[in-house]
Amino acid sequence: MHKTRKGIDKMNARTDLALESAENHISNGIEKRERGEVFSITEIIIADDKSGEPIGKRKGRYVTLEGRSFGMFSTDFREMCKEFADELSGFLTSGTVLVAGLGNSSITPDALGPMTASKVLATRHLRQEYSDEAEFLSDLRPVSVISGGVLGQTGIETAELIKAAAQKVEPECIIAVDALACRSIERLGRTIQLSDSGISPGSGVQNSRKELSKSTLGVPVIAVGVPTVVDMHTIADELTGSRTPEKLPNMMVAPRDVDRLMQRASSVISAGINMALQPQLSFEEIEDIMW
């Protein structure tokens, strides 16, 4: 196993980011590509599940976009949204899409999914009800949006809720947005991960539920996440250079300005989703719809 310069075993550090898990573990079956303009983009391609076992990841593509910070008033905001939209487009299939905002809107570090879903343009009903009155509506991709809360709020597993919605809507793919955990404090709120390997709701706050994936839902699941928390043991390990005893209590830690972080991250992701799903709309039109 890889050791850091201070001797910490990074493979045991808590992270949902394939980029962090794969550090210094690129080998046969795991490929790394880099690109990007506004973002620094790293793509990890895992050929099969066996190749991904050493880093705890399944077969699939994992694209990580790292930026300085997200922000609606940043001079790079439009470019960030476009670059994210371009990367997301590479995962999309044609046809109807279901966007699922995962997480708990009452807990700020876990509210990325609901906050993003609230800004995504739902068009399935528009096409069905108003296409005769407005011809341009027939050009919109059918999009449905769901944000049903968490098990503790509804008594229903998120996977069960989304599966029921998918059976009714019959999407060609599902975009699931959720909060993640990372190892590096510098990546908190500044990183977006895209993958086609599915997602386990609540994994970012160590409360993993039934997975959402093609094997469980029958259609491709594109997972989109931003790290909003890091666990205390990982922070202590990085600061001290020694392994924190497992017997000591642990907790998930969010940055002080997590509320602003969530607003910014959800704005970039929702704008990017709208741009990728409705490319015929201009950025200004999407802005008007969202805000």
CATH number reported for the structural domain that contains residue 54 in this entry: 3.40.50.1450
Is the residue at 289 inside a domain?
Answer: no
What is the count of structural domains for the chain?
1
Give CA–CA dist 87/269, Å, rounded.
Answer: 11
In this structure, is residue 253 part of a structural domain?
Answer: yes
pTM: 0.88
Distant-in-sequence, close-in-space partners of 135: CB < 8 Å, separation ≥ 6: none
Tokens found for residue 80: 């960030």
Minimum mean pLDDT among 19-33, 76-90, 202-216: which range? 202-216
Burial of 54 (0-12, 13-18, 19+ CB in 10 A): middle
The answer to the question of residue 194 being in a domain is: yes
Determine the average pLDDT of the residues in 25-51: 90
Q: Residue 5: inside a domain, yes or no?
A: no
Residue 174: what are its φ and ψ, rounded to 5°?
-125, 135
Q: Which domain holds residue 270?
A: 10-283
Sign of the CA dihedral with 252 first, then 257, 259, and 260 last: negative
Q: What is the pLDDT of residues 87-138, one digit of tens each?
A: 999 999 999 999 999 999 999 999 999 999 999 999 988 766 665 555 566 7
% of the chain exceeding 70 in pLDDT: 87
- Which residue would you say has higher pLDDT here, 270 or 76? 270
Alpha helices in the chain (DSSP H): 18-21, 49-52, 77-89, 112-117, 124-130, 151-154, 158-169, 214-217, 232-240, 258-277, 283-290
CB contact at 8 A, 148 and 161: yes
Please name the residue that has the structure tokens 């990546």: 187
Of 79-93, 121-135, 186-200, 205-219, give the lowest mean pLDDT range: 121-135
For residues 195 and 222, is the Cβ–Cβ distance under 8 A? yes
Is 237 inside a domain boundary? yes
Q: Per-residue pLDDT averaged across 55-84, rounded? A: 87
Q: Is residue 290 part of a domain?
A: no
Half-sphere exposure of 135 (CA within 13 A, CB side): 0
User: Is residue 228 in some structural domain?
Assistant: yes
Give residue 69's pLDDT band: very low, low, confident or very high (50, 70, 90): confident
Give residue 11's pLDDT band: very low, low, confident or very high (50, 70, 90): very low
pLDDT value of position 4: 35
> Is residue 1 situated within a structural domain?
no
User: Is residue 251 very low, low, confident or very high in pLDDT (cuts 50, 70, 90)?
Assistant: confident
pLDDT confidence of 68, banded at 50, 70, 90?
A: confident
Q: Is the pLDDT of residue 166 over 50?
A: yes
